[in-house]
Amino acid sequence: MIDVVGLTIICIGVAFDLFGCIGLIRLPDVYNRLQAATKCVTLGTCGIMLGIFLLSGFNSLGVKSLICIPFIFLTSPTAAHAVARGAHTFGVKLWDESRMDEYEKYKSQQRESLLI
């Protein structure tokens, strides 16, 4: 029974990774692509790791896959935030149909507070 659950979680993880990769190709700008990479690929990879743990149990492979899950959850969003902030700082434009730029409003508020 645990094998079926493990394989199902791995299949769901592979599907999330596939959707994340499709998002990296299809989405219009770097900010939207980062969202696809961060959300889908993080969840998919962690699902694959959890499925590997369920299939292998508490041996060296299973424990290593369990150890990788928190690292992926911590490093992937942090790296995506750093890339997005760097892209915004260096002037990479948003997609033409983007509605708002919250970070630009935040930066302008910071500049105004420094002038006072």
Worst-scoring range by mean pLDDT, 11-20, 24-33, 79-88, 91-100? 91-100
What's the structural domain count of the chain? Answer: 1
CA atoms within 13 A on the CB side of 48: 13
3-state secondary structure string across 16-28: HHHHHHHHHHHCC
User: Which two three-digit tokens encode residue 8?
Assistant: 């199902």
pLDDT at 19 over 80: yes
pLDDT score of 4: 95
Give the domain extent around 14: 2-115
pLDDT tens digits, 34-62: 888 888 989 999 999 999 999 999 999 99
pLDDT at 95 over 80: no
- Amino acid identity at 104: E
Q: How far is the C-alpha of 33 from the C-alpha of 85, rounded, in Å?
A: 14
